[in-house]
């Protein structure tokens, strides 16, 4: 279990885009366009990062049925990784 967490932590840390996107979801809900504006990252990079983070269950879309205006939040495990990054 701990090894899986470390692998996910390393996966996020390997990409500055994934890290910025995940950190922007610290205890909040946001759309990809809001994340894009806040962290000054192109929307296609934000969407790609969210897709990757969703695949490993660090973020989740809370309104999956929508095509536009999807809202994302960090999962419990995603929040633990955010907290780890904030410590260092």
pLDDT in tens, 3-34: 899 999 999 999 999 999 999 999 999 999 99
Q: What pLDDT is recorded for position 25?
A: 98
Q: Out of 1.10.10.10, 2.60.40.60, 3.40.50.970, 1.10.10.200, select the CATH number for domain 2-87.
A: 1.10.10.10
Which runs of E-coded beta strand occur in 16-74? Answer: 29-30, 59-61, 72-74
Query: Global pTM?
Result: 0.94
Pairing of strands 72-74, 29-30: antiparallel
The tens digit of pLDDT for each residue in 57-80 reads 999 999 999 989 999 999 999 999
Q: What pLDDT is recorded for position 11?
A: 98
Cα–Cα distance measured from residue 65 to residue 20, given in angstroms and rounded to the nearest whole number: 26
CB 8, CB 56: distance < 8 Å? yes
Q: What pLDDT is recorded for position 2?
A: 81
Q: What pLDDT is recorded for position 88?
A: 79
Cα dist. 40→27, 48, 63 in Å?
20, 15, 24
């Amino acid at each position: 279990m701990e090894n899986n967490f470390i692998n996910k932590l390393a996966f996020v840390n390997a990409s500055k885009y994934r890290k910025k996107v995940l950190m922007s979801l610290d205890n909040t809900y946001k759309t990809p366009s809001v994340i894009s504006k806040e962290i000054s990252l192109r929307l296609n990079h934000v969407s790609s990062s969210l897709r990757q983070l969703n695949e490993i269950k660090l973020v989740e879309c809370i309104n999956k049925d929508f095509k536009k205006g999807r809202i994302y939040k960090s999962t419990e495990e995603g929040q633990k990784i955010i907290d780890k990054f904030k410590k260092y």
